[in-house]
Amino acid sequence: MTDRVFTADLAAHFGQEVLLRGWVQRLRETKSTTFIVLKDASGTVQVVADPQKTKPLGLKTEDCVEVVGRPRAEARARQGYEVDLVDVRLLAAAAEGLPFTSMSKLDDVGPEVQLDYRPMTLRTDRGGTVFRVQAALIEGFRAALRRRRFTEIFSSKIVGGGTEGGTNLFEIKYFERSAYLAQSPQFYKEHGVAGLERVFETGHVYRAEPHATSRHLTEYYSLDLEMGFVDGPEDVMQLEREVLSEVFEEVRTRFGDPVPGFDSYLPSLMEVPAWEFGECLERLRSAHGREDLVDDLDPEAERQLCALAEKETGVSAVFVVGFPLANRPFYTHPRGAAGAAQSFDLLFRGLEITTGGQRLHRRADLEEALRGRGIEPSSFEAHLRMFDLGMPPHGGLAIGAERLTGQVLGLKNVREATLYPRDRHRVEP
Amino acid sequence: MTDRVFTADLAAHFGQEVLLRGWVQRLRETKSTTFIVLKDASGTVQVVADPQKTKPLGLKTEDCVEVVGRPRAEARARQGYEVDLVDVRLLAAAAEGLPFTSMSKLDDVGPEVQLDYRPMTLRTDRGGTVFRVQAALIEGFRAALRRRRFTEIFSSKIVGGGTEGGTNLFEIKYFERSAYLAQSPQFYKEHGVAGLERVFETGHVYRAEPHATSRHLTEYYSLDLEMGFVDGPEDVMQLEREVLSEVFEEVRTRFGDPVPGFDSYLPSLMEVPAWEFGECLERLRSAHGREDLVDDLDPEAERQLCALAEKETGVSAVFVVGFPLANRPFYTHPRGAAGAAQSFDLLFRGLEITTGGQRLHRRADLEEALRGRGIEPSSFEAHLRMFDLGMPPHGGLAIGAERLTGQVLGLKNVREATLYPRDRHRVEP
């Protein structure tokens, strides 16, 4: 027997006998013919069979089968071909009475059931597409940065302390002592800049936040970059415009625009404006009468600002730059002398998907910032000494991969874009 | 002023005035001329200056500078060009009296000092190459699998229990309960197979192993794959031959062979043999008189087997297949009826770098295997129910990225290939 062939590659095998393997996605039996839609990693194909060959197996949907058959052109088929069955063998039967199948409409399946049976969610067109698009977004991020001389790094998630003051950390019992799960690779990517100038990392980060909203997880996948020799956060924002525009273009090419079955959004971000924080408050006051915002935005403001940006530029996205310094981590670089920070968020389709900025790069400035928060610099010595080694002015950003996927595909809850979401209540499966 | 240009791209700018930024890697001042070797993310270039322009800055090595200059062809330079300095500015000074510099020979720097000042390690040619090669190996693994219709997944590292029985797990304080750091994405990649047929994941895994040897870490980066519809572990081994051969070829192309400065080893693995476990014991007995091995190999045996394979095939690598089932995790598929497992290791250059195999795919078999170990199957229900959904015969493998990097480059300790190693004693920086 020849090697197994993927259903997507059958056009090259017309008239030959090929070996196919996959799931029975649909099954229809008439007196004279059995029709099987066979699904594998590459797609689906309809297999046409003599019922005498299929009936004895008692096939049902979601069973795993091996089919020997002959592909032939078939103009009415979506793929342009069908397969005439020569032989079929049951490889592994699915159980009876599954809670849903790969043909179910996921909207009709409760979110908890989808999570409890994740493989079946993935086997649906919709579920499979969510995670394939997510993989493409993440790989696209990496590839765009490699093209710009960034080196991928892999930093430890077990840390001796927090990067942002020690709240919301998960504690690990680490032999005879305590350690913590990293909230961010912030320090490590800054070290990476001191060594390699441009670095990125894609990996999990952890926040022990007790709230369970549609946009929060205790463990999420962070797309991080950090670059040396910047003039300011504008360099980082411009890089993000370019990187996300390239990534979105690749997703459009591979998956279509809109992505079939989704209210997807994959615009060019090259013209996304950057609005100062104060200007944002002013716009919200004048357009929506909002007088309640003082030192931060809220989810409603994020939606309103995206709508205002869309009205002006045609794209529902805006950078907000110059947040109040007081709320930002100690390593944040000031923006001018009026208490603003060289920090920005990217709001995309109504949701913050990125936080970034320029960081302090002089040891003395970091020590002063720590003291200003009542922290003794010596407790950060293992980090601060890296700033003795010749640390260029630098900045970077972090994109939440699940949020990015959710906003790109128009998902209602970040959990739809998380294989196994973790929140206060869920650590299984 | 124009945008900043990388030193590697200067050949396109001869005669123009360009802006360069980077570190002063070498500095030599004569009466008439100052020579600066400037290092950035792309490489190095020699800058030639009038001392009157450089002296007032008090430059020293490892300082961050900005140079305005004119590149011109220079046959004696390794890059084929030099830069005549027009202006120079200090961006950030390095401290005085650094423990080592980017020109230091790392062999002369203690391993602990290298870790305490990781950025400087990365800024040396040797240190930078280790982590650039590591990034290339990991990206090569992903790319080779994407070409074969694998989908990248991102699974949770916070789990309710262990995949292999509950020993060597790090415990996390997770709100009001306990959770654990995942030892492996094994269960999740099997779920991935049930949904997407072919999946891979690259991410950290955790082992609370108290020993600190040259080859063990408590946190390492695992290159995992799992594929459905296999006939046996031979399919997985053949995939690994192909994937690693492709990855090695790419590293050879990008970095050279040998990688300059390293005792590197990047052979084609297409002809790597697979020896049965019993056959391995027999070979070790007859070649080395070893009578002490019964149900597993030891580090010495791994080195001896690679040497034996090299004598026969010319390549220092061998798959060992059919380990005793009793020592393997409960989900391991038996190999025949004589107590062997469909499990394999890949030994490469004297060290095990991969464990893989075929897994049980029928729920009843998994339940029986659990009971055989005195474990009540109901405690694995959240996992076992995935096997109701139509689970094909499947197998996979996991490669330790630090070990792979170490063996490829001929490093003595896996810590050299780990940005921030974690072991019983080290959680900082």
What pLDDT, in 10s, does the model give residues B30-71? Answer: 999 999 999 999 999 999 999 999 999 999 999 999 999 999
A254 and A341 together in one domain: yes
Tokens of A177: 């002592």
Is pLDDT of A414 > 60? yes
User: Any CB–CB contact under 8 A between A149 and chain B?
Assistant: yes
User: Any CB–CB contact under 8 A between A2 and chain B?
Assistant: no
Phi, psi (degrees; rounded to nearest 5) at B389:
-90, 5
Give the residue-averaged pLDDT of B277-288. Answer: 97
**A110 in a structural domain:** no
Phi, psi (degrees; rounded to nearest 5) at A409:
-95, -5
User: Any CB–CB contact under 8 A between A260 and chain B?
Assistant: no
B153 → closest Cβ in A142, A188, A419: A419
B179 and B31 together in one domain: no
Q: Which among B20, B42, B150, B158 is the top mutation candidate for probing chain A, defined by the most A β-carbons within 10 Å of its own β-carbon? A: B158
A40 → closest Cβ in B197, B383, B388: B197
Could you tell me the pLDDT band of residue B1, with boundaries at 50, 70 and 90?
Answer: very low
Could you tell me the pLDDT band of residue A1, with boundaries at 50, 70 and 90?
Answer: very low
Could you tell me the pLDDT band of residue A301, with boundaries at 50, 70 and 90?
Answer: very high
**Unique residue bearing structure tokens 């597993």:** B296
At B261-274, the pLDDT tens digits run 999 999 999 999 99
Residue B383: helix, strand or coil by DSSP? helix
What residues of chain A lie within 8 A of the CB of B121, using their CB? Answer: 195
Could you tell me the pLDDT band of residue B251, with boundaries at 50, 70 and 90?
Answer: very high
Give the A:B interface size as CB pairs under 8 Å.
Answer: 290
At A137-164, the pLDDT tens digits run 999 999 999 999 999 999 999 998 776 6
Quick one: pLDDT at residue A2?
53
Q: Residue B186 contacts by C-beta under 8 Å, 6 or more apart in sequence?
A: B163, B164, B224, B329, B331
What residues of chain B lie within 8 A of the CB of A208, using their CB? Answer: 175
Q: Which residue has the higher pLDDT, B428 or B222?
A: B222
Quick one: pLDDT at residue B167?
78
Pick the residue from chain B with its C-alpha nearest to A136.
B152
**A428 in a structural domain:** no
Of A92, A112, A140, the last residue of a domain is: A92
Which residues between 10 and 29 in chain B have a beta carbon less than 8 angstroms from any beta carbon of chain A?
A: 21-23
Quick one: pLDDT at residue A164?
63
What residues of chain B lie within 8 A of the CB of A382, using their CB? Answer: 116, 428-429
Could you tell me the pLDDT band of residue B164, with boundaries at 50, 70 and 90?
Answer: low
**A76 in a structural domain:** yes
Do A172 and B172 lie within an 8 Å CB cutoff? Answer: yes
Which residues between 190 and 219 in chain B have a beta carbon less than 8 angstroms from any beta carbon of chain A?
A: 191-198, 203-204, 206, 208, 210, 218-219
Which residues between 150 and 189 in chain B have a beta carbon less than 8 angstroms from any beta carbon of chain A?
A: 150-160, 170-175, 177, 179, 181, 187-188
CATH number at residue B40: 2.40.50.140
Pick the residue from chain B with its C-alpha nearest to A129.
B196
What residues of chain B lie within 8 A of the CB of A158, using their CB? Answer: 170, 206, 218-219, 422, 427
- Which class for A413: exposed (0-12), middle (13-18), buried (19 or more C-beta within 10 A)? middle
Is pLDDT of B428 > 90? no
B154 and B240 together in one domain: yes
What number of other Cβ atoms are within 10 A of residue B315's Cβ? 19
Could you tell me the pLDDT band of residue B429, with boundaries at 50, 70 and 90?
Answer: confident
Q: Are B385 and A116 in contact (CB under 8 A)?
A: yes
Q: Which residue has the higher pLDDT, B164 or A369?
A: A369
At position B112, the amino acid (one-letter code) is E
A131 → closest Cβ in B118, B151, B208: B151
At B343-367, the pLDDT tens digits run 999 999 999 999 999 999 999 999 9
Is pLDDT of A274 > 60? yes
**A422 in a structural domain:** no
Which residues between 224 and 253 in chain A have a beta carbon less than 8 angstroms from any beta carbon of chain B?
A: 228-229
Q: Residue B281 contacts by C-beta under 8 Å, 6 or more apart in sequence?
A: B290, B293
Is pLDDT of B406 > 70? yes
Nearest Cα of chain B lies from the Cα of A328 at a distance, in angstroms, of: 22
Nearest Cα of chain B lies from the Cα of A213 at a distance, in angstroms, of: 16
State the average pLDDT for chain B.
96
B245 and B361 together in one domain: yes
Of A121-125, A253-257, B372-376, the range with the lowest mean pLDDT is B372-376
Could you tell me the pLDDT band of residue A363, with boundaries at 50, 70 and 90?
Answer: very high
B295 and B147 together in one domain: yes
A184 and A87 together in one domain: no
Quick one: pLDDT at residue A166?
67
Q: Which among A200, A387, A388 is the top mutation candidate for probing chain B, defined by the most B β-carbons within 10 Å of its own β-carbon? A: A388
What residues of chain A lie within 8 A of the CB of B211, using their CB? Answer: none
Quick one: pLDDT at residue A163?
65
pTM of the model: 0.97
At B219-243, the pLDDT tens digits run 999 999 999 999 999 999 999 999 9
Is pLDDT of A174 > 60? yes
User: Percent of chain B at pLDDT above 90?
Assistant: 94
> What one-character DSSP code corresponds to residue A256?
-
User: Any CB–CB contact under 8 A between A427 and chain B?
Assistant: yes
What residues of chain B lie within 8 A of the CB of A146, using their CB? Answer: 139
A183 and A74 together in one domain: no
User: Any CB–CB contact under 8 A between A144 and chain B?
Assistant: no
Is pLDDT of A165 > 70? no
**A1 in a structural domain:** no
User: Any CB–CB contact under 8 A between B296 and chain A?
Assistant: no
Determine the structural domain holding residue A344 and report its residue range: 121-417
Of B92, B111, B146, the last residue of a domain is: B92
A263 and A359 together in one domain: yes
A132 and A81 together in one domain: no
Nearest Cα of chain A lies from the Cα of B398 at a distance, in angstroms, of: 17
Do A21 and B172 lie within an 8 Å CB cutoff? Answer: no
Q: Which among B63, B176, B427 is the top mutation candidate for probing chain A, defined by the most A β-carbons within 10 Å of its own β-carbon? A: B427
**A427 in a structural domain:** no
Q: Are A183 and A204 in contact (CB under 8 A)?
A: no
What residues of chain A lie within 8 A of the CB of B403, using their CB? Answer: none
Do B121 and A41 lie within an 8 Å CB cutoff? Answer: no
State the average pLDDT for chain A.
96
Do B392 and A91 lie within an 8 Å CB cutoff? Answer: yes
Do B153 and A139 lie within an 8 Å CB cutoff? Answer: no
A273 and A386 together in one domain: yes
**B388 in a structural domain:** yes
Quick one: pLDDT at residue B216?
85
Q: Which among A156, A202, A416 is the top mutation candidate for probing chain B, defined by the most B β-carbons within 10 Å of its own β-carbon? A: A156
Do B179 and A427 lie within an 8 Å CB cutoff? Answer: yes
B154 and B208 together in one domain: yes
CATH number at residue A377: 3.30.930.10
B198 and B66 together in one domain: no
Produce one character per residue of B60-94: b if its CB has 16 or more CB atoms within 10 Å, e if not: bbbbbbbbbbbbeebeeeebebbbebeebeebbbb
At B79-110, the pLDDT tens digits run 999 999 999 999 999 999 999 999 999 999 99
Q: How many domains does one find in chain A?
A: 2
Pick the residue from chain A with its C-alpha nearest to B402.
A154
**B105 in a structural domain:** no
* Residue A289 Rama label (left phi>0; alpha psi -120 to 50; beta): left
Distance CA B362, CA B364 (A): 5
Quick one: pLDDT at residue B261?
96
